[in-house]
Amino acid sequence: MGKRVYDLYPQVYAFENLLFAERDAARGKRGRPDVAAYEYHLEDELLKLGDALREKRWAPGAYRRHTVREPKERVISAAPYRDRVVHHALTRVLEPVYARRFIPDSYASRLGKGTHRALDRATQFARHFPYVLRCDIVEFFPAMDHAVLRALFRGVIGDQDALWLCDRVLEGGARELVNQYTPVCFPGDGETAPIRPRGLPVGNQTSQFWANVYLDPLDQFVKRVLRCEGYLRYVDDFLLFAPDKHTLHGWRREIIAFLATLRLTLHEARAAVLPATAGIPFLGFRVYPDHRLLRRRNAVAFARRYRALRADYAAGSIPFERLNASVQGWVAHAAHGDTWGLRSRLLADRVLPPSDAKGEPLFA
């Protein structure tokens, strides 16, 4: 897997890196008061932050929590804006180190990847292999064990100061998802197993990146040991394709055993072997070899959200631009499936903008 990498930490607190990190953290959020206040004295704030990091005085602040219920209920923990800049700065330095080690078919939170490329790859595999094993992990973000993740860091990162910062970020979010995790007893566990530090706050940039670090051993196991040619993963959703059912059932057993070494549990009831022609539930779509449909729950959730947005717009509580942006975002996503009829039905009652409004049509 290559030698460990040193001399990373000075790159993290370099002013240019912090400046780019702040731009990344602010993207789409510049209207928020905390972001505006930080950017009002941006140079001074970044200089102070760089000094705190260089002298290892930086400490994470308290998180704010909120719950989202679509597509499923999740607790989102928001770090203070200054901390989010640190998360982006650290990720900007570490990501290129790991990019050389990650497999090509890992698609989440990686430059040039994403959900739509993952869907295209799934379609490609469905055309080539007759059977698929669909997998996901129980309570993945709450279940990630800090001791396991630290060991993975130390296998790649040799810079002790960079490891110090990783530890500080981990410690800052250690209690955020404690109530979201159902304790599991793994082989060899002692009495301290239930209180092991675990969990990565879903809203952190570092958490999205470290999810790939945590599951990279699984990716390597599937590719190098199982020698599965048709494999792809998006966060904790992953697919294995093969010419026959027997092979996939054997791989399922081996994956369950391997995940236990990472202190993770497979959703066994959902880990089914299916014919690719039956349609593969994946990333909000049902993927077939020759077409792709949006899953019903996605359409229902959007229809509910669209009604609420229209009501808010009619009441004058949101501008047309917000309504339009939400709809255009969903349309762009849904267009990656065979959904013209669905989009036409859901958006049959168009909302006309005020005469002075600017922007693209609501639906096209």
Question: What would the pLDDT profile of 247-288 be if each residue is shown by its tens digit?
Answer: 999 999 999 999 999 999 999 999 999 999 999 999 988 999
Select the more confidently predicted residue: 351 or 50. Answer: 50
Q: Which two tokens stand for residue 45?
A: 């704030």
> In 3-state terms, what secondary structure has residue 13?
helix
User: How distant is the alpha carbon of residue 80 from its chain centre?
Assistant: 19
Q: Is the pLDDT of residue 349 over 70?
A: no
Contacts of 351 (CB under 8 A, 6+ apart): 310, 313, 320, 323, 362
- What is the rounded radius of gyration, in angstroms, for the C-alpha atoms of the chain? 22
CA dist 222 and 226 (Å) reads 5
**pLDDT tens readout for residues 125-135:** 999 999 999 99
Degrees (nearest 5) of the Cα angle 232, 3, 118? 15
CA atoms within 13 A on the CB side of 286: 13
Question: Which of the listed ranges 179-188, 229-238, 309-318 does the model predict with the highest average pLDDT?
Answer: 229-238
Q: What length is written for the chain?
A: 364
Nearest to 149 by CA among 122, 130, 165, 167: 167
Name the percent of the chain lying above pLDDT 90. Answer: 63
239 near 214, Cβ under 8 Å?
no
Cα dist from 43 to 18, 47, 220, whole Å: 10, 6, 42
Select the more confidently predicted residue: 45 or 361. Answer: 45
pLDDT recorded at residue 2 = 66
* 131-135 and 280-282 strand pairing: unpaired
pLDDT recorded at residue 278 = 94
Q: Which two tokens stand for residue 95?
A: 């990501």
Cα dist from 198 to 139, 142, 305, whole Å: 11, 7, 33
pLDDT recorded at residue 350 = 65
CA dist 333 and 182 (Å) reads 33
pLDDT recorded at residue 48 = 97
pLDDT-derived band of residue 194, with 50, 70 and 90 as boundaries? confident
Flag whether the pTM goes above 0.75.
yes
**pLDDT tens readout for residues 27-38:** 988 888 999 999
**pLDDT tens readout for residues 52-96:** 999 999 999 999 887 776 666 777 888 999 999 999 999 999 999
Average pLDDT, the chain: 89
pLDDT recorded at residue 324 = 81
pLDDT recorded at residue 72 = 66
Q: Which two tokens stand for residue 227?
A: 């020698």
Average the pLDDT over 144-171 and give the result: 96
pLDDT recorded at residue 352 = 60
pLDDT recorded at residue 12 = 98
pLDDT recorded at residue 336 = 75
Average the pLDDT over 309-330 and give the result: 82
pLDDT recorded at residue 364 = 41
